Amino acid sequence: MEPFLTSTCLQEVKQKGLNIERLTMDGDSTTFTRVKRSLFPKLKKSNDKNHIVKNFGNELYKLKSKHKSLSNNNIAHIQKCFSYGISQNKGSTHGIKTSLDALPFHMFNEHSSCSATWCKPLRDENYRQTHILQGTELRKDFQNVIHGYTNESMLEILAHVQSTNANENMNHMVARKAPKTVTYSESESLDFRVSAAVAQKNEGRQYILQVNETHGLSPGHYTHRKCSVLDERRSNLAVKQKSVSMKRRRSELKAERMSKNFIDEVYEGKTYETAVGVSDIEIEHIEDIPPCPAECSETPHAYGQDDVIVFDLETTGLGTTSSIVQIAALHVSSGQQLNLFVKPKCGYIPTTASNITGLEFHGGVLYQHCKEVTSVAASEALLAFKRWLEAFGNANKESTKCGNNKNSHEKP
């Protein structure tokens, strides 16, 4: 928020005889200090909840480089718990402190300090917690982050957080009528454009009918109908966006986006992050991904039956970017077998895939038909598979690998 712009606007508000008790804003203290000193001495400040939750998440993302087990999904879940802890204890510093203090224990599957109002494992013994953290060092670092939010001054801020979503929505309406790409500030139409946005925010699209009537331009049938349809759509959307199913869908889409970004980063490296343009990674250090090999031209009868190895992969889907979750192989003549369970790189297994493979992934643990199985990272599993295959090769000829769908999604 620009200090000058805000204080000028609020000065006009004061001249009209109105008083302002509280400002909801981000961490910008210059604007607040200026307005408090010059206009409203009793002014109080509320921080924007979204900014606080985002900053909290950023602190957790910093821990990721040190603790590989802290996944993006885990961080998103912790942010959600943090946000609930604040919202459910609005105005109560004690309530917020209790829930935030319990959060590290809850995430490490210890629920004695949790409250039954929000902790599902405490309410239901059979409930299996999806996001569980592990590691003494991670616990210590996570607790340190939480301590930054449980001191007296921070708790006071958290107890009075507000949302600036309404402001963002207003900004969007103004930007639709006065796009930033056009210099309307030099035009006399700017006042009308901003006024139209304010009227739309307060009255809905009905303001168009009122403006028409005031100026003797009786609005016709189509204008009436269009305004009613747009207003109805807006109110329906507002109700729908608050529904549980819509919130769940938003969370699913976010997880899909994060998974896609992760896969893209594997192929392309980081394309967007702070100061990515000035990073000192030299081009020769970026590993080239070899092109797909041409179709296999060798015929199976070129090899003896002794060399035949049959393998099968279970994956999270049928796409070439799906994650591997299981590698199984059999050396036909000797009967030697290999069976490796793999932690999915994307961090989750879709229900459609679980129904077929019987494999589920919760809290960093892989389950087969509801029983926990030992799983390793994809890179580790592929290396083990490679070593296993090499044991059957000899100097002159390679063994034949037979795989189901091995030229599509099951190509290792």
Footprint on this chain of Zn ion (rule: CB under 5 A): 106, 111, 114, 119
CA distance linking residue 371 with residue 114, whole number of Å: 27
Question: Which one-letter amino acid corresponds to residue 74?
Answer: N
| Shortest distance, position 274 Cβ to Zn ion, whole Å | 34
CA distance linking residue 129 with residue 107, whole number of Å: 9
| Shortest distance, position 110 Cβ to Zn ion, whole Å | 8
CA distance linking residue 250 with residue 254, whole number of Å: 6
Query: Which lies closer to Zn ion via its Cβ, residue 109 or residue 165?
Result: 109
Is the CB of residue 219 less than 8 Å from the CB of residue 212?
A: yes
| Shortest distance, position 158 Cβ to Zn ion, whole Å | 20
How many residues comprise the chain? 412
Query: Which lies closer to Zn ion via its Cβ, residue 119 or residue 155?
Result: 119
| Shortest distance, position 106 Cβ to Zn ion, whole Å | 4
Query: Which lies closer to Zn ion via its Cβ, residue 46 or residue 113?
Result: 113
Query: Which lies closer to Zn ion via its Cβ, residue 114 or residue 329?
Result: 114
| Shortest distance, position 20 Cβ to Zn ion, whole Å | 40
Contacts of 106 (CB under 8 A, 6+ apart): 81, 113, 114, 119
| Shortest distance, position 120 Cβ to Zn ion, whole Å | 8
Query: Which lies closer to Zn ion via its Cβ, residue 114 or residue 378?
Result: 114
Residue 343 Rama label (left phi>0; alpha psi -120 to 50; beta): beta
Q: Are strands 371-373 and 365-368 parallel, antiparallel or unpaired?
A: antiparallel
| Shortest distance, position 123 Cβ to Zn ion, whole Å | 9
Indicate the SS3 state at residue 162: strand
Residue 217 Rama label (left phi>0; alpha psi -120 to 50; beta): beta
CA distance linking residue 307 with residue 261, whole number of Å: 40
Query: Which lies closer to Zn ion via its Cβ, residue 123 or residue 249?
Result: 123
Is the CB of residue 293 less than 8 Å from the CB of residue 383?
A: no
Query: Which lies closer to Zn ion via its Cβ, residue 110 or residue 372?
Result: 110
